[in-house]
Amino acid sequence: MTSADTVTTLQRIANLLRIDSIEATQASNSGHPTSCSSMAEIVSVLFFDVMHYDPKDPRNPAADRFVLSKGHCAPILYAAWAQAGAFPVADLKNLRKIDSDLEGHPTPRLNFIDVATGSLGQGLGFASGMAYAGKYFDKSDYRVYCVLGDGECSEGSVWESFAFASFYKLDNLCAIIDINRLGQSDPTPLQHDLETYRKRVDAFGWHPIIVNGQDVSQLLAAFKEASETKDKPTCILAKTFKGSGLKGIENELDWHGKPLGDKADELVANLRKLVNEESLVRPAIKKIVAKVPEIKKDKEIKLSTPPNYDGKKEIATRLAHDGDTKNSTYSIKFHDAFPKRFVECYIAEQNMVQVAIGIATRQRYTAFVHTFAAFLLRAADQIRMGAISFTRVKYVGSHAGVSIGEDGPSQMALEDFAFFRTVPHIVCFYPSDAVSAERAVELAANYDGAVYIRTSRPNFPILYKNDEVFQIGKAKIIVESSNDVCTIVGGGVTLHEAVKASEKLKAQGKAIRVIDAFTVKPIDRETILKSANATHNRIIVVEDHYLEGGLGEAVMAALADQADIKIIHLAVQEVARSGKSAELLSKYGIDAEHIVNAVEKLL
Amino acid sequence: MTSADTVTTLQRIANLLRIDSIEATQASNSGHPTSCSSMAEIVSVLFFDVMHYDPKDPRNPAADRFVLSKGHCAPILYAAWAQAGAFPVADLKNLRKIDSDLEGHPTPRLNFIDVATGSLGQGLGFASGMAYAGKYFDKSDYRVYCVLGDGECSEGSVWESFAFASFYKLDNLCAIIDINRLGQSDPTPLQHDLETYRKRVDAFGWHPIIVNGQDVSQLLAAFKEASETKDKPTCILAKTFKGSGLKGIENELDWHGKPLGDKADELVANLRKLVNEESLVRPAIKKIVAKVPEIKKDKEIKLSTPPNYDGKKEIATRLAHDGDTKNSTYSIKFHDAFPKRFVECYIAEQNMVQVAIGIATRQRYTAFVHTFAAFLLRAADQIRMGAISFTRVKYVGSHAGVSIGEDGPSQMALEDFAFFRTVPHIVCFYPSDAVSAERAVELAANYDGAVYIRTSRPNFPILYKNDEVFQIGKAKIIVESSNDVCTIVGGGVTLHEAVKASEKLKAQGKAIRVIDAFTVKPIDRETILKSANATHNRIIVVEDHYLEGGLGEAVMAALADQADIKIIHLAVQEVARSGKSAELLSKYGIDAEHIVNAVEKLL
CATH number at residue B183: 3.40.50.970
Q: Which chain A residues contact residue B557 at CB under 8 A? A: 547-548, 552-553, 556, 569
Q: Which residues of B427-437 are buried (b: 16+ CB within 10 A; e: fewer)?
A: bbbbbbbbbbb
> Is B323 within 8 Å of chain A by CB?
no
pLDDT of residue A326: 33
What pLDDT, on the 0 to 100 scale, is given for residue A300?
Answer: 80
For chain A, say whether B54 makes contact (Cβ under 8 Å): no
pLDDT of residue B200: 98
B415 inside 8 A of chain A by CB:
yes
Distance CA A58, CA B169 (A): 47
> B267 and B321 share a domain?
no
The Cα of B566 is separated from the nearest Cα of chain A by a number of Å equal to 5
Asked if the C-beta of B5 comes within 8 angstroms of chain A's C-beta atoms, the answer is no
* B548 contacts A521? CB cut-off 8 A: yes
> Mind listing the pLDDT tens digit for each residue in A439-494?
999 999 999 999 999 999 989 999 999 999 999 999 999 999 999 999 999 999 99
Q: Count of domains in chain A?
A: 3
DSSP code string of B497-548:
HHHHHHHHHHHTT---EEEE-SEEES--HHHHHHHHHHTTTEEEEEEEEESS
| Amino acid A317: pLDDT | 81
Q: What's the gap in Å between the CA of A407 and the closest CA on chain B?
A: 5
Do A103 and B577 make contact, defined as CB atoms within 8 angstroms?
yes
pTM of the model as a whole: 0.96
Residues of A in contact with B159 (CB under 8 A): 156, 159
Given CB atoms, is A104 within the 8 Å cutoff of chain B? yes
Q: From the list A189, A377, A556, which residue is nearest B560 (CB)?
A: A556
Residue A269 in domain = yes
Same domain (yes/no): B223, B253:
yes
The fraction of chain B above a pLDDT of 90, given in percent, is 88
Q: Which helix (H) or strand (E) holds A514?
A: strand A513-516
Asked whether residue A182 is domain-assigned, the answer is: yes
Q: By the CB < 8 Å criterion, does A523 face chain B?
A: no
**Could you say which of B163, B380, B546 has the minimum Cβ distance to residue A380?**
B380
Q: Which residue in A has a C-alpha nearest to residue B584's C-alpha?
A: A98
3-state DSSP call for residue B238? Answer: strand
Specify whether B33 is located in the same domain as B174: yes
By DSSP bridging, strand A519-521 and strand A427-429 are antiparallel
pLDDT on residue B567: 96
* Contact (CB<8Å) A422/B549: yes
How many CB contacts within 8 angstroms connect chain A with chain B? 320
Q: Print the domain residue range for B354.
A: 314-461
pLDDT score recorded for residue B327:
40
One domain for residues A449 and A499: no
pLDDT, mean of residues A55-63: 98
Same domain flag for A353 and A410: yes
Residues of B in contact with A449 (CB under 8 A): none
B552 touches chain A (CB under 8 A): yes
Residue B574 lies in a domain: yes
φ, ψ for residue B361 (rounded to 5)? -70, 165
Burial tier of A69 (Cβ tally within 10 Å: 0-12, 13-18, 19+): buried
* Residues B142 and B232 placed together within one structural domain of the fold: yes
Q: Is residue B374 part of a domain?
A: yes
Distance between CA A497 and CA B79 in Å, rounded? 37
Indicate whether B554 belongs to any domain: yes
Tell me, yes or no, if A583 comes closer than 8 A to chain B by beta carbon: yes
Residues A195, A339, single domain; the answer is no
- Per-residue confidence (pLDDT) for residue A334, from 0 to 100: 42
Contact B109 A388 (CB under 8 A): no
User: Half-sphere exposure of A230 toward its Cβ, with a 13 Å CA cutoff?
Assistant: 0
Q: What is this model's ipTM?
A: 0.95
- Residues A218, A212 contacting (CB under 8 angstroms): yes
Confidence band of A3 (pLDDT split at 50, 70, 90): confident
**What pLDDT, on the 0 to 100 scale, is given for residue A335?**
39
Of A98, A408, A421, which has the smallest distance from its Cβ to B548's Cβ?
A421
Q: Are residues B455 and B483 in the same domain?
A: no
Do residues B190 and B333 both lie within one domain?
Answer: no
Rounded to 5°, angle at Cα B182 from B176 and B185? 135
Taking residues A255-268, what's their average pLDDT?
94
B503 shares a domain with B410: no
For A88-97, A145-154, A363-372, B103-112, which range has the lowest pLDDT when averaged over its residues?
A: A363-372
Burial (0-12, 13-18, 19+ Cβ within 10 Å), B269: exposed
Average pLDDT over residues A267-295: 95
Give average pLDDT by consecutive 10-residue segment, chain B, 603 residues: 85 98 96 96 98 98 98 98 98 97 98 98 98 96 98 97 98 98 89 98 98 98 98 98 95 90 96 96 96 81 85 80 41 45 90 97 92 96 98 96 96 98 98 95 95 94 96 98 97 98 96 98 98 97 98 97 93 97 98 98 88
Query: What value does the mean pLDDT take over residues A7-17?
Result: 98
**A297 pLDDT tier (thresholds 50, 70, 90):** low
Active site residues of B: 349
List CB contacts (< 8 A) between A204 and chain B.
200
Using DSSP, state whether A540 is helix, strand or coil: strand
User: A229 in the Ramachandran plot: left (φ > 0), alpha (ψ -120 to 50) or beta?
Assistant: beta
Query: What does the pLDDT look like over A377-416, one tens digit per residue?
Result: 999 999 999 999 999 999 999 999 999 999 999 999 999 9
- Cα–Cα distance, B262 to B248 (Å, whole number): 13
B470 falls within a domain: no
Please report whether residue A416 resides in a domain: yes
Q: Which of A41, A160, A349, A497 is labelled catalytic?
A: A349
B318 and B415 inside one domain: yes
Q: How far is B97 from chain A (nearest CA, A)?
A: 5
Is residue A221 a part of any domain in this protein? Answer: yes
Q: Are B168 and B236 part of one and the same domain?
A: yes
